[in-house]
Structure 1
């Protein structure tokens, strides 16, 4: 991926070197516990980490490089989506803020840990990312490479686009009225649309900035496969259960990523209206 020497975004909030002067309190703890219960994750270490004051830490050279990389990718998404939303949706794009953190973090959506992966919070229009996740993708998921990391950022920014378009608000309202299986299905459609939007970004980034190197889309496809629900469940020693999927299978995630990349059009990313995801 061609990113060095390029413009970085000003909308980066780097909390990786910051200590925490106190815990998250009862409300924050309950949010973390609820997330752990829903996803079946032991969050005891997370709660303990959040409630422990920590000293400031010095960022390594690798930390600094990841920070610069993410800043450039975010800047590219800003330029791409400003144009795409203007031309295809007739609306202005509002830049999100990307928060870099380490270990655990507080957001308007509650507390979270790095173990849960990157996430977007519509409550504060921020993307939250622990850059150690990129190293884990390479070491444990066979999904390394700078463009695989860029896909992760672009996917979360895709959720921001959904928020601006009103999609996330609609989804949240509908989920409250649905059964667990139907709510999971709606969640899958939401995530696959964010993958499709990531594909739109990749196409536009290549056309505008010549971002892609040979093999970059293969890196993104490997990453999309690695975060498929069926692959994650199988790697955890579980039998994949489609009714429990919340993000989509590996094949679905790859399909919608490429659909966005090949079309470059928002209207081609209508996962909610698609008869067969």
Structure 2
């Protein structure tokens, strides 16, 4: 992936140096940890656990120390290199979505990305590394513990810088949904249906975020030539590895489609590839699609 000469984002909050707090520290209860692990293990959308935890926790549990702007020197060169790569990917999404929104006669409000270690306070409750990267619509921030990159390579068998970029772009895709008003409409619709119906809506939401990630890659590559040989395959391996059916089979040995919240491996690959190949908003309308 060609980002070495790209700028770094001004929207990074680096809490790795103490702005967050370790798992087991103040604000993270044992029950929340168990719920988070169960959610991840059974392929349940971690944001559901985050929202519940945020409603149950006392306000002080959601506080955190102010984070210095931009990537800070942690004393770990390898970790800092990953942090700066993340910052450059975020900057590229800002440039791409900013241009797309301007072309549509609108203005893109850039999200912030919080780097943390172990756990940290969010407007959606307590964020924990065990939940993986996530987007909190309440504060319009993406949260990422850099240890997930190691898990992506080791546990999920999806190495590569573009696999990492795909994960970031997916979460930024949720921010785009939030800004377009899609997230609010889906949340309202979920509250009017049963659990299976809510899961189906969540799947369409996640697949659209995958498509938006592909849409970003399409325009970023056309404008700046970011893709190198093998990059797309890295993203497709990551999409396959974190499909609900893949995760459920690993965790329980059986697949339960009714409990899907993110989509199957095949669906996630299909919608990322669709955004990558088509490059337009209309092609990412998962909510009108008869077949996912």
Instruction: Give TM-score scaled by structure 2 length.
Output: 0.84
Contact 1:32/1:112 (<8 A) preserved? no
Offset of residue 176 of structure 1: 1.2
Contact 1:199/1:264 (<8 A) preserved? yes
Structure 1 position 92 matched with structure 2 position 92? no
Report what 2:13 is aligned to.
13
Contact 2:207/2:268 (<8 A) preserved? yes
Deviations 1:66-85 (A, max 9, x none): 11101110010001001112
Looking at structure 2, the residues matched to 145 and 15 of structure 1 have their Cα atoms a distance apart, in angstroms, of 24
Looking at structure 2, the residues matched to 268 and 4 of structure 1 have their Cα atoms a distance apart, in angstroms, of 30
User: In the superposition, relative to structure 1, how do residues 40 and 272 fare at CA in structure 2: closer, same or farther (>3 Å)?
Assistant: same
Q: Segments of 4+ in structure 1 off by > 4 A? A: 19-22, 28-31, 40-43
Indicate the SS of the match to 1:236. helix
Indicate the SS of the match to 1:151. helix
Question: Which is bigger in relative contact order (C-alpha 8 A, separation at least 6)?
Answer: 2
Indicate the SS of the match to 1:99. strand
Offset of residue 34 of structure 1: 8.8
Looking at structure 2, the residues matched to 123 and 107 of structure 1 have their Cα atoms a distance apart, in angstroms, of 9
Indicate the SS of the match to 2:252. coil
Offset of residue 37 of structure 1: 8.7
Contact 1:14/1:101 (<8 A) preserved? yes
Match of 1:117 among 111, 118, 132: 132
Looking at structure 1, the residues matched to 5 and 87 of structure 2 have their Cα atoms a distance apart, in angstroms, of 11
Report what 1:62 is aligned to.
78
- Unpaired segments of 5 or more residues in structure 1? 52-56
Structure 1 position 4 matched with structure 2 position 20? no
Looking at structure 2, the residues matched to 31 and 273 of structure 1 have their Cα atoms a distance apart, in angstroms, of 38
User: In the superposition, relative to structure 1, how do residues 94 and 180 fare at CA in structure 2: closer, same or farther (>3 Å)?
Assistant: same
Looking at structure 2, the residues matched to 8 and 31 of structure 1 have their Cα atoms a distance apart, in angstroms, of 37
- Unpaired segments of 5 or more residues in structure 2? 43-48, 50-56, 63-72
Structure 1 position 274 matched with structure 2 position 277? no
Structure 1 position 246 matched with structure 2 position 261? yes
Q: What is the aligned length?
A: 264
Offset of residue 90 of structure 1: 2.7
User: In the superposition, relative to structure 1, how do residues 187 and 266 fare at CA in structure 2: closer, same or farther (>3 Å)?
Assistant: same
Offset of residue 33 of structure 1: 6.2
Report what 1:81 is aligned to.
97
1:127-166 matched pairs, under 5 angstroms:
127-166=142-181
Looking at structure 2, the residues matched to 20 and 197 of structure 1 have their Cα atoms a distance apart, in angstroms, of 29
Contact 1:187/1:246 (<8 A) preserved? yes
Contact 2:178/2:184 (<8 A) preserved? yes
Indicate the SS of the match to 2:289. coil
Indicate the SS of the match to 1:8. coil
Coordinate RMSD, CA, aligned = 2.6
Contact 1:97/1:126 (<8 A) preserved? yes
Looking at structure 1, the residues matched to 193 and 163 of structure 2 have their Cα atoms a distance apart, in angstroms, of 34
